[in-house]
Amino acid sequence: MVTLDFLSNDYKEKKTTAQLVEEKIEIDIISGRLAPGKRINERDLCEKYGLSRTPIREILRRIEGNGLVRSIPNRGVFAVGLSPQAVDDLYYLKSILEVQCVRWAIERIEEHQMEMLTETFDFMQFYTLSNDLGKILRINDGFDAIIYDAAHNRELEARLRRYSFLLKYASSDISYPLNYLPTVLEEHRAIYEAFVAGDAQAGAEAAEIHLYKTMLRRK
């Protein structure tokens, strides 16, 4: 039976309760469920997530450090969110870093990572034929995660993971055209074939084309 367990087992981050709560609050802000300018009530968060005020305040401080909330003395903590310009900038920055990541990953990928990439691409083809958008979106994340890991650069991987997280939820209401799945499959095929050939330049060019088309699709 076709399963995606291999993706979650190898590339799903193990997170603490505080990290999971932080992520959920950030998702509410990024997606607009907590609108920009809305005051965030600490007591409500404590009740919602079953945490005391101390960890909630620490979580909000970290989120403020990421620029998604703003603390105003004697007034409280307010959601900031991401402006359309900020989202555009994130796409641009991610595209620059991801092209370099693909180049390094092709040069540095290890055998077990290549095997994982091949298996992931096989799943991508299978679920494209099944026209299963939900599975494909998850597989795409796994495909990217393997490449980020294969570049063997922790700073680059951390930045790309962060950008991917922000853009995923900032674009949660995006609509996908009817030809989305086969189109994206071919874009990923070009990247995958560059890995098979060990051609870093071809991989970088394929990644650049894919990322440019991804930006166009969200307009």
* Integer Cα distance of 72 and 163 in angstroms: 26
* Integer Cα distance of 104 and 83 in angstroms: 32
Note the pLDDT tens digit of each residue in 31-59.
999 999 999 999 999 999 999 999 999 99
To the nearest 10°, the Cα dihedral for 109, 113, 116, 120?
-40
pLDDT at 70 over 90: yes
pLDDT for 96 equals 96
97 and 200 fall within a common domain = yes
Note the pLDDT tens digit of each residue in 81-123.
899 899 999 999 999 999 999 999 999 999 999 999 999 999 9
Nearest to 11 by CA among 123, 147, 195, 105: 147
The reported pTM is 0.87
Domain that holds residue 103: 84-217
User: Tokens representing 65?
Assistant: 């450090």
C-beta separation of 72 from 78 below 8 A: yes
Task: Identify the CATH number of the domain in which residue 37 sits.
Answer: 1.10.10.10
What is the amino acid identity at position 150?
A
pLDDT at 2 over 50: no
pLDDT at 63 over 90: yes
Note the pLDDT tens digit of each residue in 9-26.
444 567 899 999 999 999
Q: Note whether residue 6 is domain-resident.
A: no
Exposure of 69 by Cβ count < 10 A (0-12 exposed, 13-18 middle, 19+ buried)?
buried
141 and 196 fall within a common domain = yes
pLDDT for 15 equals 83
pLDDT for 7 equals 54
72 and 100 fall within a common domain = no
Number of folded domains in the chain? Answer: 2
Q: Using pLDDT thresholds of 50, 70 and 90, give the confidence band for residue 8.
A: very low
Q: What average pLDDT score do residues 187-196 get?
A: 98
74 and 100 fall within a common domain = no
Report residue 13: phi and psi, to 5°: -70, 140
* Integer Cα distance of 204 and 183 in angstroms: 18
Residue the block writes with tokens 């603390």 = 71
Q: What average pLDDT score do residues 158-169 get?
A: 94
